C-alpha cells in the first residue's frame, strides 16, 4: 500500500513537471514571435504616384514585423507634398505603417500643420493612403489663427483644406471683451 501511494505521488509529480515545462516553452515562443525581424535607424520612406512625390516619412527607428507588412516607428516625421496648397508636416511619438497599402497610424503627441499655420493636435491620426485622408475617433484640437475648435473625431485631407469634426466644442472671441468663451455646438 505504501509503495502504491509513492508510485501515485511520483506519477503526479512527473505529470505536473511536464506541464510546467510546456507552459514555459509556449511563453518563450510568444516572446520570440513579438520580436522584429529587422531593425533600422534613420528610416526614410518616400511614396510617389505617377512619378509625383506625394509624401515622405522619416523616423528615428523602424522595426519590421510580419515579413515586412508592418513597420513600427519611433519619433515620426511625415511631409505631405503639394505644389497647389503648399506642404504639410506631421510629427508623432510613434507610428505604424502597413507596407502593402502604405496606410499609417500616428500615435502620441500628434501634430499636423500646413504652411499657412493651420494645425491639428491629437493623440492619434490614421492616414488612409488610397483615399488620401486622415481620420481619428480620438479627441482633437484644430487651431487656425485665433480660432480654436475641439472635438472628438475628425476627417481631413493632408493639407487641411476641408476639416470635418464630430462632437464639436469651439472657442470664440467676442468683440466686446476679446475673451475666449467656450460654446458648445451640436451637429
Cell of 176: 466686446
Selection from 139, 78, 94, 85 nearest residue 115 by Cα: 85
Question: What is the DSSP secondary structure assignment for residue 145, as one 8-state letter?
Answer: T
Q: Tell me how far apart the alpha carbons of residues 18 and 97 are, in angstroms, rounded to a whole number.
A: 41
- Grid cell 467676442 in the structure block, residue: 174
| Domain 38-184 fold | lipopolysaccharide transport protein A fold (2.60.450)
Banded pLDDT at 157 (limits 50, 70, 90): very high
Give the other-Cβ count within 10 Å of 52's Cβ: 10
pLDDT at 186: 40
What is the value of pTM for the model shown?
A: 0.73
What is the tens place of the pLDDT at every residue in 80-107? 999 888 999 999 999 999 999 999 999 9
Q: Tell me how far apart the alpha carbons of residues 47 and 52 are, in angstroms, rounded to a whole number.
A: 9
Answer yes or no: is pLDDT of 179 > 50: no
Answer yes or no: is pLDDT of 180 > 70: no
Amino acid at each position: 500500500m505504501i509503495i502504491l501511494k509513492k508510485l501515485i505521488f511520483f506519477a503526479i509529480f512527473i505529470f505536473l513537471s511536464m506541464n510546467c515545462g510546456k507552459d514555459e516553452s509556449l511563453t518563450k515562443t510568444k516572446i520570440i514571435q513579438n520580436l522584429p525581424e529587422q531593425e533600422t535607424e534613420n528610416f526614410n520612406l518616400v511614396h510617389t504616384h505617377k512619378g509625383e512625390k506625394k509624401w515622405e516619412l522619416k523616423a528615428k527607428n523602424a522595426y519590421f514585423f510580419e515579413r515586412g507588412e508592418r513597420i513600427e516607428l519611433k519619433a515620426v516625421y511625415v511631409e505631405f507634398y503639394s505644389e497647389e496648397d503648399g506642404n504639410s508636416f506631421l510629427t508623432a511619438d510613434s507610428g505604424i505603417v502597413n507596407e502593402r497599402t502604405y496606410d499609417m497610424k500616428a500615435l502620441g503627441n500628434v501634430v499636423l500643420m500646413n504652411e499657412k499655420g493651420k494645425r491639428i493636435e491629437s493623440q492619434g491620426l490614421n492616414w488612409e493612403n488610397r483615399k488620401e485622408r486622415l481620420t481619428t475617433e480620438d479627441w482633437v484640437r484644430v487651431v487656425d489663427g485665433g480660432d480654436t475648435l475641439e472635438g472628438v473625431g475628425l476627417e481631413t485631407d493632408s493639407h487641411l483644406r476641408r476639416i470635418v469634426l464630430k462632437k464639436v466644442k469651439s472657442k470664440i472671441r467676442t468683440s466686446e471683451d476679446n475673451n475666449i468663451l467656450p460654446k458648445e455646438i451640436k451637429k
